Structure 1
Amino acid sequence: MLEIARFEWGRRARGTVLLSVAFLALIALTMGLFPSIRETGGELDAYLETLPPEVARAFVGDVTTLTTIEGYLVSQLYQFGWVILLGIYFAYAAGSTIASEVERGRADMLLSLPITRARFVVEKFLAFVPVVVAVNVVTFAAIYAGIVLVDESIDLADMAAVHGVSVLYLLACGGIGLLASVSFDSVRRAQTVGAGVVFGTFLLDSITYDTDYEWLGALSASRHFDPAAILVAGDLEWTGILVLAVATVALVAASAVVFERRDLQ
């Protein structure tokens, strides 16, 4: 069982390590700057108040101060690193899962395997689960170590909740990339569409938030993952968690159906 998923995970192990190392470097740099921000953050807080609400929500998150460790982590790490960078990364990476098989002419071999196309798609996606979990576990440990080193404290339950919900968020982004991957023969096009949809809907969420068109932002995965609400306000929104879980399953199921019906000849 899950032979394809295990094989794909093995192929992605090196990339997982590199991605984790890159984020460890980002975390080290970010945490190293916090002591100076804590001392002189009043000026930055004043600057935050001058930003247009759409810009502040998109790139800083719903925080009002950078001088607390919670607000600092949301604005400098989670909002940019997780919601934007990792969201786009996993949508982009998932865009190559199926499209690469078609583009490289391995479709005939796929059709000869004693498995259904739907199972092939699902197992390809499942290979992303340990990647997403591993990156979150490693970064959680690194962030907590950084918090201790800068002589701060944080609610570990809230921090764990941020990473837990981010797993669902990133898998939903991967589902978007997967749907693009089964829809296009070109890897580049599938990756561009997957990443573009994630970033485009993120901007849509930011622009329409708290307007008459706010309902449009509900189409974005980022609407349902709010690090500030969890880490700063301690508010875990279960409806958003459910939406992310259902959306991920729906995207994978839709990808399986589309691939089943495609003519690969």
Structure 2
Amino acid sequence: MSRNSIEGKVVLIAGGAKNLGGLLAREFAQHGAKAVAIHYHGSQAKTDADQTVAAIEQAGAKAIALQADLTSAAAMEKLFADTIAAVGRPDIAINTVGMVLKKPIAEVTEQEFDQSSAVNVKSAFFFLKEAGKAVNDNGKICTLVTSLLGAYTPFYSAYEGLKAPVEHFTRAASKEFGARGISVTAIGPGPMDTPFFYPAEGKEAVEYHKTAAALSPFSKTGLTDIEDIAPWVRFMVSEGWWMTGQTILVNGGYTTK
């Protein structure tokens, strides 16, 4: 199999039942992946996971859906072990898991901080750890972060601040796994038109975000659409393998470093 191709590869997507993860799962199958394993968090996402599995199989790839709360190291280890048992060692591992918290610093509770840390930092770290152990030589690993890493803004201290460590995790992992030909990247979308975006934002904030990117007038929503991000993820885990250790902000000119 070619290092630069998706064809014939085994793919694991954490958060792969719906939204961007679900789109990626379907598109990897359409681009010739041999098997796609998708993770989903809770039982409320099972219907979406089942529909995504059906779409993957219809495209000609093997599919499996695995439910887990990935905020423990043991659960992450089990996710990779179950994937290997069901469809083989992954060639491509993608982590789309995350949660948004928008609040003034003075209002963030310890419980909210701990939960956000578990989802955005701990799960990202242990995903990279297990991916580094499980992914085949010449494989690809990609984590979804946020374009807020390039922003100077209030109210996202816990979210932006707890996504920031993933940049260093990515750099370190790329150095450690590079001897096996594995590339490791992170992609930071702008505010995306998904159900996760709107609950954290008020009406005025939503209207601002819809006009904030340089290319907003040319987007169907004004926001980043999942269809804008999927090609970048596919590229980074195929032909774009020579880019490694980098966090790339893909946002239509919303923020930049």
TM-score by length of 2: 0.28
Say which structure is richer in helix. 1
Say which structure is richer in strand. 2
Q: Which has the higher contact order (CA 8 A, sep 6+)?
A: 1
Higher gyration radius (CA)? 1
